[in-house]
Amino acid sequence: MKRSAVVIGAGLLGTTTSWFLAQRDFDVTVVERRAGPGLETSFANGGLLTPSEADPWNAPGTFGHLLRWLGRENSPLLLRPRALPGMLRWGWRFLRASRPQPHLRSTEATLRLALYSLATLDALDKQLALDYQHLHRGTLKVFRERRGLLDTQRLAERLRPLGLDSRVLDRDAAVALEPLLADAARDLVGAIHYPHDGSGDAYLFTAGLQRHAQAAGVRFQFDTEIDRLQAGARSIQVLHSNRGDIRADVYVLAAGSYSPKLTRPLRLALPIYPVKGYSLTMQAAHGRQLQVPVVDFEQKIVIAPLGDRIRIAGTAEFNGYDTTANTARSTACLQQALALLPKLAGDAAGEGKVTHWTGLRPMTCDGPPILGATPYENLYLNTGHGPLGWTLCAGSAQLVADLVASRSPAVDPQDYSLARFNS
């Protein structure tokens, strides 16, 4: 008889986990509070699949940037003073993890998972022929300041033995790769191309895979809000929801930023903080499509082609669970993108030309996600992916499904376990 599994959350991570559990002969149900799959943080993220962005955001010196940018609405990182009381413990851990050696260890762990994840995603593509506007052209990171270029180049060379490929370009070579950069080339000191990166629409992927999972027997229960996880001494006994009680042999929590709220009554603290980000989506006129996704190093924004659309995303705002739209923040992203790619200005002008969106990234205090076992023998985690949920989703889901099925994962799960925070 099949073992039963309930996955909490139908975003990128939950939907992909449900697929791999079904492939391991589990009877799977996915519960999701929204009306369909991928409608929260997965809906309009930056669109990039980037092992090159494996280094966590708490690089050495980040605290100084936060203080300098305090209160500036157009800053890449914004700490709202009212958020401080709710993030003191997490923030202290975040700063401790920003020391050079812990930060490098987290970068290397995230890179290993990211490379495994992209290989897993490619295998899924071949198996299912998913259509989500996937491009395999790498990403182009551009720099206005030589120090940033040199520091990033040194990190890339240090990570090369782990499988991160990169090449440094001068401004002419960068423009040859992405002609839309021509108007801003004089402001650039160079660029780095990461050929193994990619891009694609995370929502289209989630919706497409949900249909395949459903065809494989996975049940999706939408409009279902989990009120409480009821636990015994060693295991989860039942989920209480607005649509009745839900029972299974095993449970996988993939609820993103809301995961800590569900585990807190169990006295299970997850060091995850919701970091707010913004994106904009616009149609690209014929002849003005991007050839390769662009990452603006100094402004911390990404600009990605998604078919005939362009997705602009960026900023990190520490403001608790606030999801209120802030046009000052999102418009700043647009202005920074147009300063880099001024030929897009005409496509962004006019009423209704640009769609604004905001979402919460579930960020751990040290960078890598939290995957696998908990003190409760039938509760597993797949959460805390921060800005790399799209990059890490396939590998994380397969790793967690392997652990649930008592298989040995292809990647050592130790660096992503909840137990790492006890050391």
pLDDT attached to residue 330: 87
Which residue is associated with the tokens 């999972």?
213
Per residue in 144-168, pLDDT (tens digit) is 999 999 999 999 999 999 999 999 9
Under a CB-based contact definition with an 8 Å cutoff, are residues 368 and 113 in contact? yes
Q: Where are the alpha helices (DSSP H) in 252-291?
A: 259-263
C-alpha distances out from residue 350 to 309, 341, 353, 354, 365, Å: 16, 18, 6, 8, 40
The distance from CA 191 to its chain's CA centroid, rounded to whole angstroms, is 23
What percent of the chain shows pLDDT beyond 70? Answer: 95
Q: Please state which of the ranges 52-56, 225-229, 264-268, 326-330 shows the lowest mean pLDDT.
A: 326-330
CB 37 within 8 A of CB 210: yes
Looking up tokens 């499988």 gives 163
Kind of pairing between the strands at 4-8 and 27-31: parallel
Instruction: Provide the CATH topology of domain 4-422.
Output: FAD/NAD(P)-binding domain (3.50.50)
Average pLDDT, the chain: 93
**Is the four-CA dihedral 330, 336, 340, 342 of positive or negative sign?**
positive
Grouping H, G, I as helix, E, B as strand and the rest as coil, residue 372 is strand
CB atoms inside a 10 Å sphere around CB 240: 13
Q: Which pLDDT band holds residue 9 (cuts at 50, 70, 90)?
A: very high
Domain regions of the chain by residue span: 4-422
Given a cut of 70, whether residue 65 has pLDDT beyond it is no
pLDDT for residue 329: 85
- Label residue 127 exposed, middle or buried (CB < 10 Å: 0-12, 13-18, 19+): exposed
Report percent pLDDT > 90 for the chain: 80
Can you read off the two tokens belonging to residue 413? 């799960």
Round to whole Å and give the CA distance between 297 and 184: 14
Query: What band does 58 get if pLDDT is binned at 50, 70 and 90?
Result: confident
* Residue from 407, 401, 420, 388 nearest 50 by CA: 388
pLDDT in tens, 341-373: 999 887 776 666 899 999 999 999 999 999 999
Better pLDDT: 332 or 240: 240
Residue 131 has pLDDT above 90, yes or no: yes
pLDDT tens-digit readout, 252-295: 999 999 999 999 999 999 999 999 999 999 988 877 789 999 99
What are the Cα distances from residue 83, in Å, to 41, 57, 321, 396?
20, 18, 9, 29
